[in-house]
Amino acid sequence: MIQEMAKDVVNAKERCMDAYEKAVTLQEKLNDAITLIDPSEQLETLPEGGLFHGVPIALKDNVNTKGILTTAGSRILSNYVPVYDAEIVTKLKKEGAVIIAKASMDELAMGGTNLTCFTGPSLNPWDTNRMTGGSSGGSAAMVASGVVPMAIGSDTGDSIRKPASFCGIVGVKPTYGRISRYGIIPYASSLDHVGYFTRSIEDACISLQALAGRDDRDMTSSFKEVPDYLGLLNSDMNGKKIAIFGNVQDALTNPETKEMFAKLMHALEERGAKVDVFYFSEELMKAMLPTYYLIANCEATSNHSNLDGIRFGVREKGDSMEEIMINSRTKGFGPLIRKRFVIGSYGLFEENQDKLFRKAQKVRRLIVNELNKCLGEYDCLIAPASNDIAPLLNDTSRDQLSDGYLIVENHMVIGNFSGYPSMTVPMGFEEGCPIGVNLTCKAFDEVTMFNIGKAIEEITGYKDLTAEVK
């Protein structure tokens, strides 16, 4: 779709204006944007050619955009207008992309529901009584509803891949360092990845082609050459070795998801893939979520110490600098964020660093070692992205200490612990709502990930899915 759009130069203006008008119309139903951007000015200075010539896109609202409000979904940043563009914005503009929205997100990218944004929750296009998932839920909703063919997200635990599952689209978290993070408001620096949503594997290939590459302003970005992802796309599964994530498969409780996943694995075998089951240490599996919480919240507490109403953020009144900071942070942050900062601060206390923060880092290494054992033998690790379709907005029934939650709903964080490429693609539907399957591959082996994803797309037929918003 992106390729066809970019070639259709004549209709670029009409296409972008139509997308903007659709975004305005659906905003009342989905609340998926924080800021809508009239594309008229961008269309006047549109460069010739490019992979995204005249293609409307959306950016998660933690991506800095010069002269355009960038809130990261938080009240404390509701007055922040950056003076520079993030590197990915510069890249996309050079390729001719037209930005029509800054999408809704969980506050400061902390959350998996997209219910914590200061402008209210983003709603699922397939069923507006359900969550989009988070933290990149607004971006996912804008792609799933057909407003844009590609939207930028960020992924620290599964913040692209879970919303992709709930919204029936492709969600890509490439290898750590594959895309520059310069100009992205951080959550946890050792876990944060820039990624994106599309409605097809071909569009996912084109998007990474446009976004990838070294950036000297992000010292974690890679010098590795960027392959021609689309040119290398090949769905031949002969000789491919695929590992089913056994711990996740065993912890599934939804019979429909189990059956759907089993049929998909059988179909991959019929296409020539060798499919086995691989088990991780069960003890390490149950340690994934607490390990993630400790590392992520400690890093977030450090990263966001400047949001105090003095250096950054909306300033509340107070009789002293200390009182101004207390009032600004108390009113500027939602309850979930304040809770996470308490956890992070506790983990960073000098007396706690060895027994908590550094211990979590050691457990992270053990988990990555398990993944390396798997990917030393197999091309891909695969599992359902979730046990169920998107939860209802008021659903509080999940037991967050059960195996079904600890393992099934949190296993994708292994892609952040390792930095390896991971992608969710649509697998099927339950109750009229989508559910996805997740793939994780070796570092910088996005080519294999896309090829297996393409085979799955051909098996399911779920390409260019668009929800009809009611």
Domain extents for the chain? 2-236+420-460
Two tokens at 83? 């003076």
| Residue 401, pLDDT score | 57
The residue annotated as part of the active site, out of 74, 122, 135, 328, is 135
CA-to-CA distance for 14 and 151, rounded, in angstroms?
A: 19
Strands (E) in 299-413, as ranges, are 380-384
C-alpha distances out from residue 118 to 21, 61, 70, 335, 391, Å: 24, 12, 13, 11, 20
Tokens representing 421 are 């490429």
Selected catalytic residue, list 122, 136, 159, 207? 159
* Dist. CA 245–CA 235, nearest whole Å: 21
Residues of the chain with confidence (pLDDT) below 50:
none
Q: What pLDDT, on a 0 to 100 scale, did the predictor assign at position 395?
A: 85
Q: Round to whole Å and give the CA distance between 251 and 258.
A: 10
Burial (Cβ within 10 Å: 0-12, 13-18, ≥19) of residue 355: exposed
Cross-strand pairs, 173: 422
Give pLDDT, residue 398.
66
| pLDDT score for 402 | 65
Whether 452 and 444 have beta carbons less than 8 Å apart is answered as: no
* Known active-site residue 159: yes
Annotated catalytic, 60? yes
The pLDDT, as a whole number, for residue 406 is: 84
Residue 373 falls in the annotated catalytic set:
no
Longest dimension (CA), the chain: 71
CATH class of 2-236+420-460: alpha beta
Per-residue confidence (pLDDT) for residue 405, from 0 to 100: 80
Q: How far are the Cα atoms of 108, 192, 423 from residue 185, in angstroms, in the given order?
A: 8, 10, 22
